[in-house]
Chain A
Amino acid sequence: MDYIEVYDLVKTFKEKGKEIVAVDGISFKVKKGEMFGLLGPNGAGKSTTINILTGLLEKDSGTVKILGFEPEKNWEFVKNNSNVATAYSWLSDVLTVRQNLRVYAKIYGVKEPEKRVNELLDMFELGKVADRKVIRLSSGENTRVVLCKGLINNPKVLFLDECTVGLDPDIADKTRNLIKNYQKENDTAILFTSHYMYEVEQLCDRIAFMSNGKIVKVDTSANLKRLIKKRTVEIAVKKDARLLREFLEAEGINVIFAEDNSLVFEVTTEQDRMYKVMNKIFHKGFMLSNLHIKGPTLDDIFIKMSRQK
């Protein structure tokens, strides 16, 4: 079952008399139990999309369905069964962590609010700061408090907008595991945006790449990486590095780094070009002391897509 459905969604803003298209007719679906990543450069329309789906922003046109219902017609049901966590908005900074979570638990009508609040505080290791005012928290603690709020009602649909910003690597790793475990246990549909590519790769089942308000590509991270046909080869030879460089340049290969006996070059995988080049290197008798072939990363995809018009 599709928990999130978006069809031909359009949102424009007016700024100084000019019309800016923030979301330009995008469509996608997120299934029950799926984590779906929205990737794209700043201003691509990711947060605008999430704001529309959470009811904070009115769309110009298009259809949105959450859990099979159009939010405008079934606001209460949709909002009671969904939640959002974003790094861009705090909870009330005058209240303590516990007070904030208690208020949200009551807003959602959670049956045993204190129990749920304590569970989440334990889960996100926030027990020590539970009675501290939000304004006195570090940004990493704040991020985790917002995540606690995002899970307070055991949502079936969760929107996570750059929700791991400011976490140190250890806590970020724990948080990612918590999100993943929560999703598996509850079959939650998660719409996830992040600037950390490894995070998106680790968590998301599918990724939509957004640029200029449009979805350019939707696929799994493995399939997206196949779009990049280049490999980066790091090679070190015992001697004759200069000859190797001359050979590669004669083959029309772009050497991007050369120092002492080490070279780094990029080579396409199209028409078995990489295998042919490597074969020639071996046959020429160059004595390799190190060889490392790097496949593309989501960062490469991000850069490639961001630069495409």
Chain B
Amino acid sequence: MKFYRINALLLKYYYITINRIDRIFDIFYWPVVDLFIWGFAAFYIQQLSDVNVLSMLLGGIILWIFVWRSSQDIAVFVLEDFWSRNLYHLFSTPVKLSEHMVSIVLIGFLRSLATFVFMALFGVLLYSFNILSISPLLLAASVFLLSLFGWVMGLFTTSFIFRYGQRIQVLAWSVVFLMQPFVCVFYPLSALPGWAAKIAVLLPPTHVFEALRAGISGNPVNYIYLGYSFLANMVLLILVVLFLNSSFKKSKMTGLLAKGG
């Protein structure tokens, strides 16, 4: 991997972000809409309960950004190159798949951070909820583990895009939301029915959101589960990188890459 090539690709994705109003808009618009909906809902439930529902829901929705943004940005930036039939030029240069992916992961992370800062400020202004009141270690671990899972999901979707082309582009927007009900963003693991809990417990983000709720309510955080989350993420990352490489190779066999999708 060459840093100057990653840097060049970062510049490209930065240009895409600043040149397209919708790519700026999606950093702020949907997250704020979510913050209003869940914030108001939590505000109401808070009045009926003794539990700190508002903080738990807002904490969940703010940190969910790292899964959502990371996953979607990877897939959509790759699709962007498919749409403009630009992959032909990109991969006829010395750019490697790994450099391409690293640059997209980095730009996705930066965009997630921008959304996070914006939502954190909105949380304080609208609901007097300060996400930074969570222990810095827990917050940093949560951001890292959730981003990691987002990258896994994004690379997984990208593998399908390289394998089957633009016809499966709907995955770019939908895969992550298929996961959302099972990773316990808004409710504890114990709230899920048995069969769903069996799925949820295997998914790395579930334990991050559980730890977050424990941290907010002043209960001890189970760092062993966070360790599991890290390991599971790493295993998934290795598998998805293998799948991505195989899909990329296949796209070079079938001519999909040369045709640009």
Contact = CB atoms under 8 A, between A and B. Distances in A.
Interface of A: 13, 47-48, 51, 54-58, 75-76, 79-80, 83-84, 86, 88-96, 99, 102-104, 106-109, 133-135, 146, 149
B93 A76 contact: no
Interface stretch (B13-21, B38-46, B154-162, B213-221): B13-21
B107 to A, nearest CB: 13
A55 B7 contact: no
A276 B198 CA distance: 95
B interface, by DSSP: helix, strand, loop or mixed? helix
B15 A89 contact: no
B249 A58 contact: yes
Given A51-B255, A94-B15, A107 B93 contact: yes
A99 B80 CA distance: 16
Nearest to B254: A13
9 contacts: A48-B255, A79-B94, A89-B89, A90-B84, A92-B84, A94-B16, A94-B20, A103-B15, A107-B94
A interface, by DSSP: helix, strand, loop or mixed? mixed
Interface of B: 2, 4-5, 7-9, 11-12, 15-16, 19-20, 80-81, 84-86, 88-89, 91-95, 249, 252-255, 257-258, 260
A124 B15 CA distance: 23
A92 B86 contact: yes
B95 to A, nearest CB: 6
A141 to B, nearest CB: 15
B99 to A, nearest CB: 9
Contacts of B2: 109
Contact of B257 (A56, A86, A88, A108): A56
A57 B15 contact: no
A56 B11 contact: no
Contacts of B12: 92, 95, 99, 103
B98 to A, nearest CB: 12
A17 B56 CA distance: 54
A89 B249 contact: no
